[in-house]
Amino acid sequence: MEANPTAEGGPDDSPFDLLPEAGGRAAALCLHGLTGTPYEVRPVAEALADAGIRAFGPRLAGHGGTPELLAETPYTAWVEGVRQHYAALAAEADRVFVVGLSLGGLLSLDLAAEADVAGVVSIGAPLALSWPIPQAVPVVKYLMPMLPKRSGSDIRDPAARARHPGLPTMPLKSVHELVRLQRSLRPSLGQITAPAFIAHGVHDHTARPADAQKIFDSIGSEDKELLWLENSAHVVPVDYDGADLAERVAAFLAARL
């Protein structure tokens, strides 16, 4: 799915609130990844709106500014911001789903472990980072505060990768906060009982595909599905399998209205 252009001709990376034409009393909170923008979950959100589900995509705390601002944002600010957005949607909708990519997937699972969500979708969530990142990043973040993204975002489609918006560097302090969130979340996965849809790109070089299977096996949900995207890397919603993913997520959630 093509990006919605801004007035300047670039991709629209702004927050969104997509309302279904026929109205409806269900909503989905759509969460992007670390150093990313709402743009990367908008294709799924548009499919949800077409299926009769309001789709709200905010910026996560610390995003939308400089890498330095993000570097000073603790993971607890991401968690609290998501819970505030969920509470606001729950005050207006009868049923609220949560959908997230990467960091957004972890935050979606974290919310589903604590709140009575109507369903949870996790896409490319990194349940743990490979050795030695968790062990080294608490020290390395002071020696090398920013890690340049030399090859861009983890997307197989070269055209999609070239136009993908986001920060050009990864603050290693933010990676450390991601590790802290992972450690906080892993013991809580069994508390998740909402309908769950877990998806992961087979060619993901950012989050291990095996993590999707671990999430699927660890959550307490009885109603759950696991989808492998055979032609995509990490940012699946804008990669080769994006249209298929959006259709499958919309169908899964619409069937549980």
Catalytically annotated residue among 13, 32, 63, 102: 102
Q: Is 204 a catalytic residue?
A: yes
Q: Is 14 a catalytic residue?
A: no
Catalytically annotated residue among 13, 154, 204, 241: 204
- DSSP per residue, the chain: -PPPB-TTSSB--S-EEEPPTT--SEEEEEE--TT--GGGGHHHHHHHHHTT-EEEEPPPTT-SS-HHHHHT--HHHHHHHHHHHHHHHHTT-SEEEEEEETHHHHHHHHHHHHS--SEEEEES--SSPPTTHHHHHHHHHHH--EEE-TT-SS-SSHHHHHH--S-SEEEHHHHHHHHHHHHHHGGGGGG--S-EEEEEETT-SSS-THHHHHHHHHS--SSEEEEEETT--S-GGGSTTHHHHHHHHHHHHHTT-
Catalytically annotated residue among 85, 176, 200, 234: 234
Q: Is 63 a catalytic residue?
A: no
- Residues assigned a catalytic role: 102, 204, 234
